Amino acid sequence: MVHIDPIARFHESFAEAVRREPFDPSRAALATADAEGRPSVRFVLVKGIDARGFVVYTNETSRKARELAGNPRAALAFHWFTTGDQVRVEGQVERVSAPEADAYFASRPRGSQLGAWASQQSTPIASREQLETQLRHVTERFADAAVPRPPFWGGYRIVPSLIEFWSDRPDRLHDRTLYTRTPLDWTVTKLSP
């Protein structure tokens, strides 16, 4: 059966990965490129998936955030070994709203909240001890208070223009389905493996 809605199909595939994967199934490779087109890829955790797109959060001074500021397009690739499925997502990137970022930040474990304040992601540090010292200062600063979202931390939504599903099949006859966004809906194309 070919789904008409790729987001609904993604949620079905993701639910199966949640049941079977030994690692966090929300991890995906995020590819960005700078303004000159030089690519960069890293693994991230995708923390929101709905009809609007796929959301990741980061320090806004990180390399990926700087690249998204200069070239607001990105790609994601999920791979779940236990199900034999891959999902690729490509699209424009937009910032999530401050209330949405606040709500997600508040849901994070306190240690992750403090780490977001302590780490100036992607910047050089002299030593591990420097980072641990920064964490101690932040921990003391917020000792008797809730940890607010740092002003330099937020979310990015990849608004998909295409989503491709790839399922492993015997004899290299894999199943591939490409969903391409149109002004009103999605077109569905089967692809040769």
Residue 116 inside a domain? The answer is no
pLDDT band (50, 70, 90) for residue 167: very high
The CATH number of the domain holding residue 41 is 2.30.110.10
Chain mean position to CA 94? 13
From the list 108, 141, 149, 172, the catalytic residue is 172
From the list 175, 31, 16, 30, the residue with the least C-alpha distance to 81 is 16
pTM of the full predicted structure? 0.92
pLDDT digits (tens, 9 = 90+) for 93-111: 999 999 999 999 999 999 9
Lowest mean pLDDT among 45-59, 116-130, 134-148: 116-130
From the list 26, 18, 29, the residue with the least C-alpha distance to 45 is 26
85 touches 50 (CB < 8 A) = no
172 part of the active site: yes
Residue 136 inside a domain? The answer is no
Q: State how far the Cα of 46 lies from the Cα of 89, in Å rounded to an integer.
A: 12
Residue 129 inside a domain? The answer is no
Task: Determine the pLDDT at residue 124.
Answer: 87
Residue 122 inside a domain? The answer is no
Strand pairing report for 153-167 and 73-80: unpaired
Domain that holds residue 92: 6-109+151-191
What are the strands, taking DSSP E only, across the chain?
A: 27-33, 39-45, 48-50, 53-59, 73-80, 85-95, 153-167, 175-181, 186-191
Residue 131 inside a domain? The answer is no
Residue 126 inside a domain? The answer is no
Over residues 185-192, the mean pLDDT reads 94
